[in-house]
Amino acid sequence: MSSTAEPFPSPTWHFAPAGLDAGSPAQLEPLFDDLLHRRLDDADDLRRWLRDESELQARIAAEQAHRYVAMTRRTDDAAAKAAYLAMENEVMPRVKVRSDELDRRLLATPALAQLGPEYDVVLRKRRTQVALFRAENTELQREEADLQTQQQALVAGVTVEFGGKTLTLQQVAPFFESQDRAQREAAYRAALAARRTIWPKAEALFDRLIALRTQIGRNAGFTTYTPFRFQDLGRYDYDAQTCRQLHDAIAEHVVPAVRSLDADRAKRLGIPQLRPWDLEVDTEGRAALRPFASEDELIELCRRLLHAVEPEFADWLLALRSRGLLDLMSRKGKAPGGYQYQLEDERVPFIFANGVGLHGDVQTLMHESGHAIHSLLCRHHDLLQLRDYPIEIAETASMSMELLGLEHIGTVYSPADASRTRKKHLEHVLRTLTWIASIDAFQHWVYAQPRHSHEERRVAWLDIRRRFGGAIDWSGLDDALAMQWIAQSHLFTHAFYYIEYGIAQLAALQVWQRYRRDPRAALANYRRALALGGSKPLPELFAALDVRFDLSAKMVGELVADVMGAIRE
């Protein structure tokens, strides 16, 4: 395929007008009315109705996405922020009420029994939505969106004065790889000082989010927010107890491995114990890897890695660039982090990142490219809900792509740099699993006793980190450790969305194992499973990928042993 080819044709609209302004309630209401009052006498009527309803919801989702993207690209743009909040505050509350009407209309239709099993997953989700919906929660969810926007703007506004320059938090990160330990420490302390300035406001926002979410859960008939959110996230195949079992497995197998790696790192650095600023520096005294300096260079690195995995994936990345669907470099006023957001009006992904020249940015783009590939592989499904796959398989797609690309890292780096990059990434996989367990355990604690004080919250976090943390010396940095959780944006923007990364990492490590044995078969499984979108339950999606949905201590132990063996190679 030529790199200039257009592989993503626009969808055909059968119901939603091509020129629909999905941010206009006046234009949306007649379409909702048409669907609500349409005759549904047989399976053909139902299939057309589902297609048309999907078109309407896709156009609304696209409008949300475009406004969110614009707001996160420029959090200091008042117009972009106002447009996003107008969608959340003025349009979405009404959309949720009308969508609930459509859900109930569908589920009350006698002809529903005529639909085949291919609609089972769709209908299961619709039944969950009806069971959870409460009109009074639409206002609370509007407030939640507003608080989330405030948190993103707060973090995006943090700047660090260091080395005579004003930097973003992301732009400070390269200094943590410096061979000058004093410089690393100075950079860490400068970033910490900048973060401290927003802690009071961030904690106040989190307090309000906890209260709102707790009330949302209670309005829906739950004692706490946790079971409400589990159902809201579509966690049909595991529960809170399963999460705690995974925490135990990580404590048993991953934590000792990470602490042994930390001890080895300290020994190689010639220091008695690691400090927080000693985790990124190369232990062999080599200069930090700076593989790119511009967005184009970053894209080219990832294009080459994707081409080594599957040439068509590399073409897709270039096609996204040609359509202006990549924004990859850090700058002042840009929201932190990275994401892939599907623009459902065209069924194409937008990739957002904060690159500063590190290899970690290469891994981030490979991760988000995995998400983008997933969305493109299943864009053929007409129903939005069949393109809306479970979060666990979404993160499996992205984490697998990181590991598959890592197998070809020698195509873009020297042998020595490829070796150290591969080792560092695998260490990061293990370290991240301990962080995932920490964040998930923290959320379970937070929402189990929502009226806790700030001090109780800090104590709870410290207990969790004593269980899952590495061998790091935090002396003199007690507040930094106690407030470490506040840097995790998911706690604010996507409640309880984090254990999925752990589940997905276990699946991705299995994909990686299979790829090392038989790349062609593993890639075929990857494409086949991702093309299913959300048309199958999670265990069946994992089976199509040829991996086990297994969160047991035995599985975790086997995978950790494999990773540690690869690190020692």
Cα–chain center distance at 397: 11
Q: What is the pLDDT of residue 1?
A: 40
CB contact set of 151 (below 8 Å; sequence gap of 6+): 202, 205, 489, 492, 493
- For residues 340 and 371, the answer to whether their CB atoms sit within 8 Å is yes
| Residue 105: inside a domain | yes
- For residues 163 and 174, the answer to whether their CB atoms sit within 8 Å is no
| Residue 554: inside a domain | no
- What residue numbers bound the domain in which 71 lies? 25-133
| Residue 110: inside a domain | yes
| Residue 560: inside a domain | no
Q: What is the pLDDT of residue 6?
A: 64
Residues 524-543, buried b or exposed e (16+ Cβ, 10 A)? ebbeebbbbbbbbbbeebbe
- For residues 15 and 52, the answer to whether their CB atoms sit within 8 Å is yes
Neighbour tally for 241: CB within 10 Å? 8
Residue position matching structure tokens 């190369």 = 282
- For residues 176 and 277, the answer to whether their CB atoms sit within 8 Å is yes
Instruction: State how many domains the chain has.
Output: 1
| Residue 34: inside a domain | yes
- Picking from 363, 174, 155, 158, the residue whose alpha carbon sits closest to that of residue 277 is 174
| Residue 461: inside a domain | no
Rounded distance between C-alpha atoms, residue 222 and residue 394, angstroms: 28
Q: Exposed, middle or buried: residue 280 (CB in 10 Å: 0-12, 13-18, 19+)?
A: middle
Rounded distance between C-alpha atoms, residue 235 and residue 85, angstroms: 29
Q: What is the pLDDT of residue 336?
A: 87
pLDDT in tens, 161-220: 999 999 999 899 999 999 999 999 999 999 999 999 999 999 999 999 999 999 999 999
- Tokens encoding 285: 């005294």
| Residue 255: inside a domain | no
Low-confidence ranges of the chain (pLDDT < 70): 1-6
- Picking from 160, 144, 141, 161, the residue whose alpha carbon sits closest to that of residue 152 is 144
**pTM score, two decimals?**
0.93
CB contact set of 180 (below 8 Å; sequence gap of 6+): none
What SS3 class is residue 202?
helix
pLDDT in tens, 84-121: 999 999 999 999 999 999 999 999 999 999 999 999 99
| Residue 169: inside a domain | no
Neighbour tally for 455: CB within 10 Å? 9
- Picking from 84, 37, 83, 35, the residue whose alpha carbon sits closest to that of residue 55 is 35
What SS3 class is residue 273?
coil
- For residues 237 and 549, the answer to whether their CB atoms sit within 8 Å is yes
